[in-house]
């Protein structure tokens, strides 16, 4: 089953910690061993895993992405949000996390972040839980 989570972002660029939302889907699945697949069905947003203990890590990532891909540039995309499309491709649109003993097997400092690059908007994150067939 595909779980379609609805979220609302608050800034043009933002890394939103959605770890609790993903954990909730894993908990409700009651699956002990398997894989959690997270997919973002947008072209100007993505998903990434990084540190969620110190919020300055998020700020640094966004700041450096802005330097790599400035909002204003010599782009050909007429909609005016070429930078958001490029950043979305840089961070990617999916992540895969193991599920062990019913829990998302993330590293101690890892969190799952929805990466908004053309907000604020209402967005979706699709989460699929796959049960392991055999040990």
Q: Scanning residues 59 to 88, which ones bind Zn ion (CB under 5 A)?
A: 79, 81
Cβ closest to Zn ion, residue 64 vs residue 79: 79
Cβ closest to Zn ion, residue 18 vs residue 83: 83
Cβ closest to Zn ion, residue 59 vs residue 79: 79
Contacts of 12 by beta carbon, 8 Å cutoff, 6+ apart = 116, 117, 118, 119, 120
Instruction: Give the Cα separation of 37 and 18 in Å (integer).
Output: 14
The sign one gets for the Cα dihedral 97, 102, 107, 110 is: positive
Q: Which residue is nearest to Zn ion (CB)?
A: 79
Q: Least separation, in Å, of the C-beta of 95 and Zn ion?
A: 23
Neighbours of 113 (CB within 10 A): 24
Cβ closest to Zn ion, residue 3 vs residue 81: 81
3-state class (DSSP) for residue 96 = strand
Q: Least separation, in Å, of the C-beta of 70 and Zn ion?
A: 16
Q: Least separation, in Å, of the C-beta of 12 and Zn ion?
A: 14
Which stretches of the chain bind Zn ion, using CB under 5 A? 79, 81
């Amino acid at each position: 089953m595909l779980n379609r989570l609805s979220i609302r972002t608050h800034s043009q660029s933002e890394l939103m910690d959605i770890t609790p939302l993903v954990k909730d889907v894993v908990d409700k699945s009651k699956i002990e061993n398997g894989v959690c697949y997270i997919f973002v069905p947008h072209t100007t947003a993505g998903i990434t895993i990084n540190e969620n203990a110190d919020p300055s890590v998020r700020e640094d990532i966004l700041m450096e992405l802005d330097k790599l891909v400035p909002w204003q540039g010599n782009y050909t995309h007429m909609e005016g949000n070429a930078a958001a499309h490029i950043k979305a491709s840089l961070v990617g649109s999916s992540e895969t996390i193991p599920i062990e003993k019913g829990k998302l097997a993330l590293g101690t400092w890892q969190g799952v972040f929805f990466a908004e690059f053309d907000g604020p908007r209402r967005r979706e994150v699709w989460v699929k839980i796959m049960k392991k067939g055999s040990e």
